[in-house]
Structures are given as structure tokens and as C-alpha cells.
Structure 1
């Protein structure tokens, strides 16, 4: 069963239908390539898993949009305001739709300089888009009513959350919370893929489903990270920070003594993710 398409249809035709329809009209008018990111994308991958712990409710929708020149971005916002009834906010990348949905439009591509995008506003803003190009090159495409919607993968979302949370201190708690939510619950997300032939090497005498699932997540991150050595180095530096100075041996010893401790369990998962990535890259 194509849960990705089912979840997408449920969200698209739910409370945000008018907002999504307006955005689709705008993107098509200006021939803008767009990608769903953030919590909306996460929910498209996970909403059929209703037995997972309660997660942060989605009241907004985030898109990364490939822009060739900054004037195109201004024209898009003008159209949404003047024709579709959106309102501007103090943040130059954020709009409020007529149904009060918060819409973040993150431009990248032709407007980047050294992984940054300069946005005019009050005040103006330098917006980091580090990793966007590599992550979104591996987005999943959904066909709906003859239109294409590109959705960031969960592996891609983990990379974006890790980067964003460690670039801006004010985002750290929220973004890392989102990252750990995916990491801790990836066993449920992976489901039967744990037993796919391509991952049969993970099933041995020490097989632990949650650890095996994290290694599958690492393998899904590999094609993205292979796109950029700089991105690889950034992610490994973040994992080193998240391990809080402990090496793998110390983490394994702590985990053997207190496997139910939440902090130690997270250290073990991060260590396993890090090690699997290093073995695959």
C-alpha cells in the first residue's frame, strides 16, 4: 500500500487545502520547482503510524523553492499577497495564508552565495541554505491530480535538522527534538524493510531492531552525503558534538549498564548512526 500517497492526499485535502492549492497555482505561474520540507513532509511519511508517541502538531507548511534570481522570489510573494490574499510578516521568507496557516518559503539555487541567501526585509536577513541542494536532489516525487509534488525524505530531513539546529542556538532544542523523534522511532518507520535482502547483514546474533533501523537510516543518508564532502564533514562534526566527548567504547559500556536510560540510549543511537555512515562513505 502506498502510504506516502495516502498520507499526502489526507493532508493536502484537509484543513490546508486552500493554502496548498494557492501555493501550487503560484509555483506553476512562475515555473518554480518546489519541495515540501519540515513537519508537513515528516507527517506525509509517518501519519499512518498512529501508534507512535505524540509529536508536535503541524500548524505550518514549509517549502524549499528553487529560485533563479531574487526578483523571481519577490514576484512570487507579490502574487501571493495581491492575488491569493496572503499577508507578509516580519520574516522575509514567511507569509500568512487566508486560513491563518504559516507558510515558510526558503529560496535556494541560483540565489545562493556561499550557501547563504540574502533576503531584503525589516531587518534584512542572511539565510543559510547549507545542505539544501544535496538533500533535495534526493526528494521523493508524488503524482497527484496530474501535478508533481516533491517531498523531502526522512533521511534528508534528519540532515536538514542537524545542520539547522547546530547553526542557530535558538533552533537547537526544536530541531534536535525533531531529529531525535525520527531517530528513536525509526524502527517503526522502517517496518518490514528491516528484513529486506539488502539489509540482511544487519541480522546477526547481536541483532537489535532499533539499532538495525538506525543503520538503515544511515544507509539512506549516504547518497545525499556523497554529494558533498563539506556536508559530510559538517554532519560528522555534529555527531562528535552530540556524543559529548564519549567514545564508542564508553557509550557501549554505559548502554550495557543502563539500556533504558533515555540520554544513554540517544548516545547509543547517535553512535550507531555515526559508525554506519563512516563504514558506508
Structure 2
């Protein structure tokens, strides 16, 4: 596993975040369950390594690897009965922390059917977990906090994968995910410069490539092993990147709205990601 990336939890203005992660780790360890951070918090953690200002998020999203189907409900029950977490009436996968913000515990592993998980409860009871298992196997990075915690988060390439899937599933509601893809690409080189210089320095042989072009190509290369074990997922991602469907064709415009890249540049960067996946 790669050397740890360092962050400071206190920089996220999330009350009790260190305590919440420690509680979750303790309970997960009791059930011999592994987890990694996804969603907005994972993105913000990566961007914080370059001191990039982001939208404040109160949500904590965790992908939780469940090998025994009964463990998930027992974990939730333990958090509620022994650690003052509370159920959320609109979302069966979420719990409110003692500090009042939600934690989404999204199970994957032995509990999914056709890449979806369904649980008993009120409100949202079914979620798709496309890519979770593949990321767990090939797409994680270790985080070390200034407060002394260590845990795993989805790699930047993995976050892009999940955001592309989220937009493809619900293009009318997940436009921010695509805008985030542009933000990640724009900062990727400086965040992952050690990775790029150590594993992908052959890309510097092409003097016509800018830093964003190199970053996009590396993102594709980092996605390649994640997608290798699931051909249907690989084809889906390549289909999105090719802008073949009507809602995919909005991607360059949505990213360009951030003012970082033009639509033509976005199209070229997506092509670079594709090349990285395919070659």
C-alpha cells in the first residue's frame, strides 16, 4: 500500500468528526468489518492536502464491507444503543451522530444483489453500489490525520469513477458530481505529483502534454486496474467518457461552467482518461 497522505480533521469544521470516526472504527473492528470513506468528505480530504477551499459538507459517507449479512443491522443497533446514534426516518442507511449530522453506512460485499443493496426500514431502503467492491480491491489510499487516526479513503481516480456512475444513474439531479470531476482533474497533478513522477514519468516524454493532460491520462491508468475485474463496469465508464448518450453530452458543458476548462478542453481530457484506461 502507498505511503499515507496526511490531513487535519479539524480543518473540516465538522464537530466531533475525530470522535465519530474513532467510534465507528471501534464498532467495525468488533464485527471484523472494514470500511472506507467516499462521497464529499473523501473529495474534501484529498483537496485539503493542497489547501483547496471546498463547499462545506456535513455528510459522512462510508462504504462498509459486509461478509456476514446479519452484521450490518447489528452494527447499526450497537451504534444506536451504546453510542447515542439515532435512526433517520427518511433513510434506512443513515444514522445521526451524537453531534447531529448524518453518517451514511453503505454496505457492500455479500449483501448486494445485481449491484444493489436493499435493507428493511423507512424512507430510502435500496441503493446501488456499483464499483464499491472493485474500489475496495484496487482503488483505496491510506489517510493519516494530525490527530493520529489512520483509515482508508477512495483514491481520487475512484472518486471520479463513483461520480461518473452517480451522474449516469441520475443525470437530472447529480450535476454537481460532474462539476466535481472537473475540480479533481484540475488539482490532480499537484495532489498526486509523487505518484505521477514515480509511476507515470513516461508521459513527460511528450512535450505537447500539459499538466492537466498528464493528470487525465494518469487518472485513466489508475482506473484501469479497478475496472479490470468487471468488464461491464469498464464498458459503462468508457461509454460515459465517450459522450455517446444525450445526457453524457452535457458533461463538457457542466464541467466548463466551473470556469476552469473550455468544453473542447474537457472533451480532450475525457479522451485522455479513456486512453489511460484502454492502453
Shorter-chain TM range is 0.7 to 0.9
1:67 aligned partner = 66
Map of 1:124-135 to 2, 5 A cutoff?
Answer: 125-135=125-135
On the 8 A contact 2:58/2:101 being kept in 1, the answer is yes
In 2, the alpha carbon distance for the partners of 1:183 and 1:28 equals 34
SS at match of 2:100: coil
On the 8 A contact 1:108/1:133 being kept in 2, the answer is yes
Q: After superposing the two structures, state which structure 1 stretch, 3-12 or 36-45, moved more.
A: 3-12
Q: Does 1:109 align with 2:116?
A: no
SS at match of 2:174: helix
Q: After superposing the two structures, state which structure 1 stretch, 216-225 or 178-187, moved more.
A: 178-187
Q: After superposing the two structures, state which structure 1 stretch, 32-41 or 119-128, moved more.
A: 119-128
On the 8 A contact 2:84/2:98 being kept in 1, the answer is yes
Q: Does 1:35 align with 2:47?
A: no
Structure 1 stretches of 4+ with a deviation exceeding 6 A read 11-14, 143-147, 242-247
Tell me by how many angstroms 1:196 deviates: 4.1
Distance 1:105-1:140 versus aligned 2 partners, 3 A rule: same
Tell me by how many angstroms 1:220 deviates: 1.2
1:269 aligned partner = 269
Map of 1:1-281 to 2, 5 A cutoff?
Answer: 4-7=4-7, 15=15, 16-50=17-51, 52=52, 54-89=53-88, 90-123=90-123, 125-138=125-138, 139-142=140-143, 149-191=151-193, 193-196=195-198, 198-241=200-243, 262-278=262-278, 280=279
Tell me by how many angstroms 1:71 deviates: 2.4
On the 8 A contact 2:49/2:191 being kept in 1, the answer is no
Count of aligned residue pairs for this structure pair = 266
On the 8 A contact 1:135/1:159 being kept in 2, the answer is no
In 1, the alpha carbon distance for the partners of 2:62 and 2:247 equals 36
In 2, the alpha carbon distance for the partners of 1:243 and 1:123 equals 31
SS at match of 1:36: strand
Tell me by how many angstroms 1:114 deviates: 1.3
In 2, the alpha carbon distance for the partners of 1:205 and 1:83 equals 59
Q: After superposing the two structures, state which structure 1 stretch, 130-139 or 8-17, moved more.
A: 8-17
Q: TM-score, normalised by structure 1?
A: 0.82
On the 8 A contact 2:200/2:218 being kept in 1, the answer is no
Distance 1:189-1:277 versus aligned 2 partners, 3 A rule: same
Tell me by how many angstroms 1:200 deviates: 2.2
SS at match of 1:108: strand
- Which stretches in structure 1 are left out of the alignment for 5+ residues? 252-258
In 2, the alpha carbon distance for the partners of 1:96 and 1:71 equals 21
**Greater Rg over alpha carbons, structure:** 1
Q: TM-score, normalised by structure 2?
A: 0.82
Deviation string for 1:185-207 (max 9, x for gaps)? Answer: 22322335544474224432313
